[in-house]
Amino acid sequence: MDEDNTPKMNDIVPKSFEDLIKEVHERGICGECGGCVSFCTAADIGAIEMTEDGPPHYSNEENCLHCGICYLICPETFELKSELNKKYNFKPPIGNWSKIVTAQAKDSKIREIATDGGVVTAILIALLENDLINGALISKRINSFQRIPFFARSKEEILEAAGTYYDLKGPVPELGNYNTFVSTISELKKIMHSDYMKIAVVGVPCQIHSIRKMQELNIIPAHIVKYTLGLFCYENFKFDDVARAKIEERFKFYFKDIEKINIKENLIINLRTKDTPLKIEFSELSDIMRHACRVCEYFSNYFADISFGGLGSQTGYTTVMVRTKIGEKIYNLAQNKGYIIEPNELNSSVDKSKILAQIINFSKSKLKRAEDFEV
């Protein structure tokens, strides 16, 4: 401290895990993404660890170096916001973009298994087949409902992880405490075998936000992430057996009858027992929404190279927002080499204005929800 009581740079103590506890955990907004634990500077000697079902905690507080990395990279803190906004040329409410289009994978086999138009899967395959990546960090099903992080290294593995179809042969598996959010970021460290690796990551906005923060701070291994493919995301869900029974009762269906789930302008559930899908407004699901999602401001994934969603596109098509120069390069490659197609009849200027209007509406509505929660 100077004589006039002005703090000097050396006196400023970085915020650290204690501050995460106060500002994130105690406010009930930890997304349990595992980022702070995986990238903790003291990870080798053990300072913090994940808990069974809740935010991480100190396992050995005395090992904490108070370096502040966990606080900086947590997607729920405001750190690095202005730096990232500037770097990615953020303009409210949907961020920077150079192209908005509705598209689909050219390969009908991809379209059959994909969530929407299979554009994400087609671009990942294009990147792999053109030697631009060694693999992609995505997520795959382990049983009828649950997904886990997955590092796909071949076309077959990328295809295995596409889509959100459910194959319910036999009884519904025990779901227990079930979370639709898949904590892929914590896998990054396990994937890196060499500095020269090049990977793509698919993720919802909070995940891409963490990666951008790590890249900004040069935290290893964020440098191996060469391409970020971001998914739109209004909210994710977390529920247990009691909540599931409540949902079945409220919307008059059984989980065992689910064929496919999709998230667009609402939650769309295709049932084996019904010809038309069940559409549930997000507002009717607020009791099973993950707590972290209540304060999340990011709908259209504005720090990604390209963002993708179903919103605004017809069934069987993906809405694509190309955002960065890198995004432009890979989208053009996938299109020029025939991996994806953009039907002219669905991409008139009127159609594109409608898509844009929907993305703006959902982005504003999500921002308002976050502001209301803060109030």
Ligand X SMILES: Cc1cc2nc3c(=O)[nH]c(=O)nc-3n(C[C@H](O)[C@H](O)[C@H](O)COP(=O)(O)OP(=O)(O)OC[C@H]3O[C@@H](n4cnc5c(N)ncnc54)[C@H](O)[C@@H]3O)c2cc1C
* 3-state secondary structure at position 277: coil
Is 280 exposed, middle or buried (CB count within 10 Å of its CB: 0-12, 13-18, 19+)? Answer: middle
Q: Pick out residues in 139-178 that bind ligand X (CB under 6 A).
A: 139-140, 147, 161-163
Contact with ligand X (CB under 6 A): which of 73, 309, 335, 339? Answer: 309
Contact with ligand X (CB under 6 A): which of 308, 324, 327, 351? Answer: 308
* 3-state secondary structure at position 45: coil
Binding segment for ligand X (CB under 6 A), chosen from 46-54, 87-95, 112-120, 271-279, is: 112-120
> Which residue intervals of the chain are DSSP H helices?
17-20, 35-38, 69-73, 81-87, 108-113, 119-129, 155-160, 188-191, 205-216, 241-251, 325-336, 349-374
The number of residues that bind ligand SF4 (CB under 6 A) is 40
Please give the Cα distance from 255 to 243 (Å, whole number).
Answer: 12
Based on the shown chain and the rule CB under 6 A, indicate whether residue 163 belongs to the binding site for ligand SF4.
Answer: no
- Looking at beta carbons only, is 111 or 238 nearer to ligand SF4? 238
Binding segment for ligand X (CB under 6 A), chosen from 27-35, 55-63, 216-224, 227-235, is: 227-235
What do you get for the CA distance between the two ends of the chain, in Å? Answer: 36
Based on the shown chain and the rule CB under 6 A, indicate whether residue 302 belongs to the binding site for ligand X.
Answer: no
Integer-rounded Cα Rg, in Å, for the chain is: 21
Binding mask 177-196 for ligand X (x = CB under 6 A): ---x-x-x------------
Is 73 in contact with 40 (CB distance < 8 Å)? no
Based on the shown chain and the rule CB under 6 A, indicate whether residue 210 belongs to the binding site for ligand X.
Answer: no
Contact with ligand SF4 (CB under 6 A): which of 111, 147, 213, 290? Answer: 290
Residues that bind ligand X (CB under 6 A): 114-121, 138-140, 147, 161-163, 180, 182, 184, 202-204, 231-234, 236, 262-264, 308-311, 318
